[in-house]
Structure 1
Amino acid sequence: MGKLLYSVAMSLDGFIAGPGGDMSWLAEHLAPNPVIDELIGEVGALLVGNRTFRGSDPYEGMEGEGEAFGGGWSGPEFVLTHNPPATPVPGVTFVTGFDEAVALAREAARDKYVNVLGADIARQCVEADVLDEVLVSVAPVMLGDGVRLFDRQGGAPVPLERLSQSEMPHPTTIWLRVVR
C-alpha cells in the first residue's frame, strides 16, 4: 500500500497559505523544480483536506488552474469532508471518515505515494501516526500570517530524518521521513 507523503510549499516563516487560505503568493514561486517534477510520477493518489480542495488555487488564471500540480498529475483524489457536495465531481471521491479516506487512498495508490494536501489533513495524519514522509519546498518569501505548515498546539515532538535536500537554483527542497 502507498506511503503517505505530505508535500507542500512553505514560506520561510512557516506558512503554506496566506490569511484566509490565500495561495496567490505561491504563483511567482512555481518555477520548475526537479524534485517535484520527479515526485509527480511517483504519486498514485491524493488525500486532500476540504479547505484545500475548495480553497484558493496558486494556478488561478494560469494553464492548469483547478488541477493537481497545475495539471501535471491526474488520478484518484479523495477529499475528507463533513459536507460532500450534492453534485459529483469527476475523479474525486468525497469521504466523511478519516480512516476510510486513508484506506481508500492507500488502496488506490497501490505501491506509489498518497500525496497529502492540506495542513489540517496532514495534522490528522501525524496525530493518527500514519504520515510516512514530508517534502517541503521553502519559497524565498515571508508571509507574516496565514496557515502554518503544522499547527499542533500541545502536540508531542515528531522525530524526522532527512532523506535528501536540494538547493539553488530552485527553492530549497527538504525530504524527511517520520521516524517511528
Structure 2
Amino acid sequence: MSTIYSVASSLDGFVAAPGDDLDWLLRFGFEPFQEHHDRFFADVGVLVMGATTYEWLLEHDDTWAYPDRPTWVFTSRELAVPSGADVRFVSGDVTGHQDAIVAAAAGRDVWVVGGGLLAAQYQEAGLLDELRVTVMPVALGAGTPLLPVAAPTSVFDLVGTTTFEGGAVELHHRRGRD
C-alpha cells in the first residue's frame, strides 16, 4: 500500500493553467493514456482530493467517475454529493485523517488526485510514498505549481518511466533517502 500523487504536468511544472484551466491537458485526449491509467487505478482503494479538483470533476462529468471507491475531499465548505458516490468531506491537517483514509483503502493504494496544494501538504507531512508525474509536451508559463512545498522534505528515487504517443512521459518516483 502506498500513498501516490499521480498527476499530469506541463514541461515547466504546472498542473493547471491560470484560472484552474485544464484545456491544455484535455487537448491531448485520454486514449494514449487509458490502458496505463487503468492498470494504475486497479490498485487504488481510496481517492483524496481538494475542493477545486472535486468541483472540476462534478462540472465536467455527467456521472461520478469513481462510484466504487471512497473519496475524501478536503474542504471547509459544504458541497454536493453525486448520487451513489461515497464522498467524505474533511478539513484540517492531512495527518489527522490519514489513518482513516488508509484503513478505508483496505490494503490498496491511496491516490492523491489533482492540484498541488493538497499533494504539498502530504509531502510536507512525509506521507507521500510515490510521485507519478506525466509530463506533457507543452509549456504554460504560469498556473498551479506541481508541488508547491514550503521546504524540501524528501528525496525521491526514479524507479521507472513510461513514454506515450505524442511526446508525454510518466516519471515514476518512490520515496528514497530523507
TM-score by length of 2: 0.84
1:126 partnered with 2:126: no
What letter corresponds to residue 131 of structure 1 in structure 2?
A: L
Other-structure match for 1:177? 174
Match of 1:96 among 74, 91, 94: 91
For structure 1, the 5+ residue unaligned runs are none
Instruction: Provide the secondary structure at the position in 2 that maps to 1:39.
Output: helix
* More deviation, 39-48/21-30: 21-30
Q: CA deviation at 1:162?
A: 1.0
Greater shift, 76-85 or 133-142, is seen at 76-85
Aligned residue number for residue 78 of structure 1: 72
| RMSD after superposition | 2.3
Q: Distance in 2 between matches of 1:88 and 1:73?
A: 11
Identity over aligned residues, as a percent? 30
String of CA shifts for 1:123-169, please: whole Å, max 9, x gaps: 0001100110000111111111100101124x125311111101242
Q: 1:160 to 1:106 in 2, by over 3 A?
A: same
2:162 aligned residue: 166
Q: Which residue of 1 aligns with 2:105?
A: 109
Distance 2:63 2:108 in 1: 23
The answer to whether the 8 Å contact 1:3/1:114 transfers is yes
Q: 1:142 to 1:82 in 2, by over 3 A?
A: same
2-structure distance, mates of 1:13, 1:65: 32
- 1:58-73 alignment runs, 5 A limit: 60=60, 64=61, 67=64, 71=65
Say whether 1:31 aligns with 2:31. Answer: yes
Aligned to 2:2: 3
Read off the aligned partner of 2:31 and give its amino acid letter.
A
What residue identity is the alignment partner of 2:40?
A: L
Q: Secondary structure at the match of 1:6?
A: strand
Shift of 1:84: 3.1
In the TM superposition, residue 177 of structure 1 has moved relative to its aligned partner by 0.4
> Number of matched residues?
170
Q: What is the TM-score normalised by the length of structure 1?
A: 0.83
